[in-house]
Every structure is written in C-alpha cells, then in structure tokens.
Structure 1
C-alpha cells in the first residue's frame, strides 16, 4: 500500500499514539493510586490495629498513652470511645473531629473496631488537604516526563537529520557546489537527501562543463590573437594610418576580453576562497592605478587583507569604466569606514539611471537604446562585484552629489568580519 511507504508519517504517528496510550495508562494508574489510597491504607492496617487494640482494654488511665502508641504504630489518627459514645482518648486532629458527635464518624475513610469490653476504636486515615493535590501534581509530572522521554529519541533523530540536510542546502546555496548531504536511511528524509545529491551533482557537472568550455575557448582564442598581433606589428613597421591603429585597438580589446573571461571563470570556480592573502594599502594601490588614467586621488591610508592582483584589477576596472563611460574629472577616494574599507570612484559624465544601477554589474549589459558600436559594460563591473564579494565585501552604484556616476566598494578590514552590506541601487553617496 502506498500509504505504508510513507515511513516518516508512520514514525510521527506511532510516536504520538504511543505517547497518548502511555498517558492514558498513566492517568488510570494515577486515578487508582490517588483515589483509593486512604481505603487501601486502612485495609492494610486493619491487622495491625487488631493486634494492638488489646492493649486498650485496660483502665481509663492507661487509655491516653495506649492511644498515642497505637497512632504512632499505624501512622494514623486514633480515637477511643466509651460504651455510651463519649470520647475517652484521642490522638490526632481528624480523630477528634470525627469523635465530636457520638454515633459515628464523619470522615471519608474510617476504620471502626469494637473492643471486647464494649468500647469503640476509630482509626481515621483522611489525608491532609494538600496531600491529594500534591499526589496529582507529582503523577502529572511523571506522565509528562514519560511522554517526553518516549518521543525524544525519534524526534531528536528526525530533527538532527533535517538540520544536517538544511545545513548542507545552505552551504550549497552559498556557492559550495561540491556539498553533498547524508542520504542514509529509508524514509522521506533520506529520499529527499538522495534527490538533492543527484540534482547537485548534475548542476555541478553542467557548470564544470561550461567552465571547461569557456576556459578552453578562451585559451584557444589567445593563440590566433597572438598571431594576429604579431602580423599587425610586422605590417605596422611598413605601414601607417588609421586602419592600422584601429586593428591594434581592436586586438587589444579582444585580448583584454579574453583575459577578463578567464579571470571571471576562475573566480566563479574558486568561489569565496582567497589565496595568498596579504596586507594591501588601498590608498597606495589607488594612487598607482589613478596615475595610469590621470584620475585624482584623495582619502586616508586603509589596509585590507586580500589578493593584491585582484584588488588592483578592481580599481583598474572602476577607473577604466569612468574613462570609457564617464567624463573628467575622475576621482578615486579610499578611506576607513568603521570595520570596513571603502573605495569610491566618481566621474562627471551623464550618470546611470536609478533603474539601471544594479544592471550595470551584469556581464555584457547594454542599456536600452545604446548604439551597438558604443558597446556595453562588458565584464569590467561584473568582475568588480565578483572581486569585492570574494573578499567578503560588496559593490554598488549610488547617486552622485554633483551628477555623473559614483561607484562604491566596501571590504571588511578584518577577514572575520561579516560580509559588507550590499549597497542599494537607490542608496545615498557615502
């Protein structure tokens, strides 16, 4: 039957059923133990009372001590009445209460014994007011503990497996595509884990194939590009003119594009793992890159722990983006911002509309209506965001104070710091 194969359902159902049955049996035992305790207690003490009662057949002067001894032996309240119903001796509050009126006791459970000389002995085992409530509370706690202990092993194992599955899914979602989860067992949790492992393996294989294709194609492109560059260099020695300059410029762009594709592929493959970390002074690095394009530099010295080559590429791409799509003056500022290091690159160009400030970080994004000959943003800004995220930071485009574009990168100064907040496309300039 299909329903019987739903083992997880049956585990939960049977656990609850066992808990309810255990509770029912425990409540029955509770009722029996609490409801019958005084009666059963008196019945068990009847033999003791009969053997001790012979000591009460003596004189009245000996009755009071004898009643006290009997009360201590049987652990109950005892009252001795004369033939006429008068109270002769008593020990205990309840025995005195039931002996206030001749003719019979008013307690719930009382053992009445007639002595050989005609006197009457009453033994009362009525509990104190708090005893019954205390017994019920104790047994209720025992029932709750029983149900909790009965359900604990199964539920703990189930939730532990679900937590491991959730943790594996979280790691996979954060970019560790090699993550696999434990698929042992034969229930729905194991089936879900097995399905996830299959899907993750397929996705990982597809991405690996895509990366290999991209890397191989990029490497294959470099060989003809190198031959073309050599041919153009040989030709340029004998020729001159704008055609030659255009060819050289296009070859340089192709070479840069291939290099960016290779770098992007490597960053995607390596994920967030940084290699060869070292202290990098962002202000000094910004000054070196700004000198290449004639940009202005300002700010304070601030260092981060990261990869120098990648951080240099980040700054170079931001500055070259300002040269290609903005207008002078191009400014770069590096400064500390609490636990973060902040890089701000701005220009005085036409700027970027608010609705496109996140889109420009997509690979090869081209704004609507832009002339194809003018090109798009290529991979430059996409690499900026990849490099920032590789260092635990973020990159964004915000509104500039005096027009133009303003790009902000924030990187934790301490690698153990949490990832820097992602700047909103509508954010304010720092």
Structure 2
C-alpha cells in the first residue's frame, strides 16, 4: 500500500526526483536554522531587551510618583497619558502567518516584560496607527478630560505610550531571512545545473541504446566525465563492440550455412535428374523435388528471420508504389488483391526488408485466407498504416498475439506443410526495426486483417 502510493507521489524522472529532494533538504535546513536562530539567539536577546525595558519603565514610574504635581502633570501630558487604553491595543499581538517570526518575538517580549514588571502594571501592544507599547502606570496623576470634582481631572492609575525597542520588533530578521531564501534558491539552481550536467551523458546513453536497438551502429560514447558515468559509458562501448563482433560472426555463419546446405541440395537435384532413365516413372522425382523446395523455403525463412535487414540503410520512398508492384506480381500468378490506397507521406524504410514484410503478409493471406484478398493504406497525423486482409477463418486475440513469436503456427495452418512458423515473427521484427508495430483486427463481414503501423517522419 505504501510503496504504490510513494510511486504515485514521486516524480517519474530522476532529474525531477533529485531536484525535489534537494529543495526538500534546503527547506528543512532553512527551517532548522530559523528555529535555532529564534530559540537560541533571538529569544535570549529579546528577553534581555524586555528586562532592560522593564527596568526603564519601573524607574520612570518611580520618578513620576516622586515628581512634584505640577511637573508630573506636565510630564504625563507629554507622554500622552490616558485613563483608558486605546481599543486597538491588545494584550497579545495578533497572529500573522506571513510574519510568524515577528509574532513569536513580540509574544516572548511581552511574556518576559510581564515577569519583570509589578503585577498591577499591565502592558498592551498597539499595532494600528504605529507600533507603541501602552503601560499602566501607578497613581497619582491628573489625567485631562476625566471627571473629578474641583480638579478638572482624575487622580487614578493611567496608561502611557512608550516606543517599542527594536529588538522586540524583529526588524533585523528581514534581511537575514531574505538572504537565507536567496541562498536556498541559489543552492537549488546550482543543484539543478549539476543534475543537468549529470543527465547529459545519460541522455546520450539513451539515444545510443535506441540507435543500437534499431540496428544502427552508434558512435562510441565519451568517457571523460565523472568516474561513475564514465564507467557506464565504457561498459556500453564494450558491449557495442562485442555486439558488432557477434553480428559479424553471425553473418559469416549464416553465409556458411547457406552455402554448405544449398550446395549439396543442388548436387542432389542434379544427381536425381541424371540417375533417372528415360521414359521412367517421374513421380518419385517430382515428390523429391517438392521436398527439396520445402527444405530451401524453410532455410530461406531461417535466413530471413536471422537477418531481418539491420544492416540495410533506410531510404525515403513511396509505400503505395511498393504495394502496387507486389500486387501486380501476385496478379500475374493468379492472385488478385483489391487495393484501396490513400495518399501517403514519404516515409524512410528499408526497401528489401519492407518488401519481405509485405510479401510475407500477402503470401499468408493467399495460403490461409484464400479469398477476399485486399490491401489498403492510410495515414494519420502521427503514423502510416498498411493493412493486408483476407476472408479466412478468424482466430482469437490470444492466438493472434502468439503468432508473433517464432515457430508459432495457428490452427488454420495445420493443413499446410512447408512452413516454420517464422512468417509473422519476421513481419514483427521488421516492423519493430522501423519503429512500428503489428496489430491484428477482425474484418467487417468475416476474416482477418493485419495492420502494420509505422511512425511518420518527426513523430
């Protein structure tokens, strides 16, 4: 349960995963650094500022109590003394998610200040209309505007506004946080650049592997990068060289097999023809030659499957022209194919291999279908389609997929001898060599249609 969920959450590419991990680590380090800064640096600093401010307030309160009334009244008037605290002054600073660090420091300051002040000296924080700290001072003082018979004021505890120390406002952290975020962004960009540098040889390796799987010979990969990447590139180069040697050995072996088997077959045909006297029964010769033809057909199918045209270069051409030529050849042998060919874009293909692919499909339609022979073509925005159909007995989807594997023959092929089960395997291999695929579809009205889907240029 946890692993599938993790696979769905994590990005699919290694680059995105590394960048996400780097950003997460940078953010975690920034959060930890900020927590350490607030708790072990700023908090003691704010608490010291609160203690000093409390000493200042207590001294001012004592001084006002001992000051002569006339001078005290003038001084409290200059301090904007009030009988009631303003409505926008709060006992605790209002919380703010965007300024959480300032809220934290103000809360620490007020808590520490109340510890150092007498219990009856309250403190309120005003945020609107300027940052001020209201302190409830002791009597006596005459607050103008209050009702007091014969005095024009009220001798009662009063509130005065004092400026807030810089250490309690947290203004000094703005630059530090901005600098920290800038360094975090720089670290993320640096990690992104490093990851791109590491991904470049991986992309080159991917392209080289794709070319190798398509039958091409990629250029050797550079081995001057980091040690780990250089080791992978070197191993890939060695593998490519080993595959080239194996391919050369296979080609030599196939040529030898073809020569060594076909030579005695030819001699056997000649010996049989020379050994039979004139006017003798030739049924044995006909049967023997039929078996020899089957042996050569099987041998050719093995050669075709082993070769598959990897070394043949692709050339741009008209697939419809190739289909029309093959259909004309089969028509000369008495097998008419109904053609429905749409206008196709120019596609790069291997001529001999594509000829072999279409020939195998059309021969299969003749042998196993017999009637309703048809070839059609069409194109979409991203692919070119070639379809060869017949009206033979249909097969299940599972049987059709199994026919793509070598040496597999459908149940409708059991009555036909001389095959090896490599026909559709050759078709599948050639289609994949061109970056395409083979699909099986039931025809409307009965029968089977084999689609060869080839990618368009640039798709």
Please tell me the TM-score bracket, short chain as reference.
0.5 to 0.7
Query: How far did 1:274 drift?
Result: 1.5
> Deviations for 1:200-246, whole angstroms, at most 9, x for unmatched residues?
54455444433431232123333333334444555679455222212
Gaps of 5+ in 2: 1-18, 50-70, 81-128, 142-158
The 1-side partners of 2:182 and 2:360 are apart by 70
The range that moved more, 19-28 or 131-140, is 19-28
Root mean square deviation of aligned Cα = 5.2
In structure 1, which of residues 366, 370, 374 is the aligned counterpart of residue 417 of structure 2?
374
Contact kept? 1:289, 1:316, Cα under 8 Å: no
Query: How far did 1:96 drift?
Result: 9.9
- 1:85 aligns with 75
Q: Would you say how many aligned residue pairs link Structure 1 and Structure 2? A: 345
The 2-side partners of 1:237 and 1:83 are apart by 151
The 1-side partners of 2:387 and 2:416 are apart by 31
Query: How far did 1:23 drift?
Result: 5.3
* Counterparts in 2 of 1:298 and 1:237: CA distance versus 1, 3 Å: farther
The 2-side partners of 1:236 and 1:408 are apart by 48
* Counterparts in 2 of 1:218 and 1:369: CA distance versus 1, 3 Å: same
- 2:164 aligns with 108
Secondary structure at the aligned position of 1:358 is classed as helix
In structure 2, which of residues 261, 267, 283 is the aligned counterpart of residue 242 of structure 1?
283
Query: How far did 1:192 drift?
Result: 4.1
- 1:289 aligns with 329
The 2-side partners of 1:345 and 1:370 are apart by 16
Query: How far did 1:85 drift?
Result: 2.7
- 1:147 aligns with 187
In structure 1, which of residues 328, 345, 352 is the aligned counterpart of residue 389 of structure 2?
345
In structure 1, which of residues 310, 328, 331 is the aligned counterpart of residue 370 of structure 2?
328
Contact kept? 2:434, 2:454, Cα under 8 Å: yes
In structure 2, which of residues 282, 285, 296 is the aligned counterpart of residue 255 of structure 1?
296
Contact kept? 2:339, 2:375, Cα under 8 Å: yes
The 2-side partners of 1:97 and 1:409 are apart by 83
Query: How far did 1:193 drift?
Result: 4.1
- 1:77 aligns with none
After TM superposition, the structure 1 = structure 2 runs for residues 156-175 of structure 1, keeping only pairs within 5 Å, are 156-175=196-215
Secondary structure at the aligned position of 2:387 is classed as strand
Secondary structure at the aligned position of 1:381 is classed as helix
Contact kept? 2:337, 2:373, Cα under 8 Å: yes
> Deviations for 1:34-84, whole angstroms, at most 9, x for unmatched residues?
9989x99xxxxxxxxxxxxxxxxxxxxxxxxxxxxxxxxxxxxxxxx9995
Gaps of 5+ in 1: 1-11, 41-80, 110-124, 419-430
After TM superposition, the structure 1 = structure 2 runs for residues 22-421 of structure 1, keeping only pairs within 5 Å, are 85=75, 106-109=162-165, 134-135=174-175, 137-148=177-188, 151-152=191-192, 154-176=194-216, 178=218, 181-184=221-224, 187-232=227-272, 238=278, 241-270=282-311, 273-275=313-315, 277=317, 280-282=320-322, 284-302=324-342, 303=344, 305=347, 306-324=349-367, 326-338=368-380, 339-348=383-392, 350-366=393-409, 374-411=417-454, 415-416=456-457, 418=459
Contact kept? 1:359, 1:365, Cα under 8 Å: yes
Query: How far did 1:315 drift?
Result: 3.3
The 2-side partners of 1:95 and 1:347 are apart by 91
After TM superposition, the structure 1 = structure 2 runs for residues 1-16 of structure 1, keeping only pairs within 5 Å, are none
The 1-side partners of 2:397 and 2:130 are apart by 88
The 1-side partners of 2:131 and 2:423 are apart by 98
Contact kept? 1:274, 1:390, Cα under 8 Å: no
Secondary structure at the aligned position of 1:269 is classed as coil
> Deviations for 1:73-116, whole angstroms, at most 9, x for unmatched residues?
xxxxxxxx9995377899xx87999999999972233xxxxxxx
TM-score using structure 1 length: 0.58
The 1-side partners of 2:247 and 2:372 are apart by 38
The 1-side partners of 2:334 and 2:305 are apart by 27
TM-score using structure 2 length: 0.55
* Counterparts in 2 of 1:404 and 1:231: CA distance versus 1, 3 Å: farther
The 2-side partners of 1:264 and 1:396 are apart by 19
Contact kept? 2:387, 2:449, Cα under 8 Å: no
The 1-side partners of 2:75 and 2:339 are apart by 108
Query: How far did 1:307 drift?
Result: 5.0
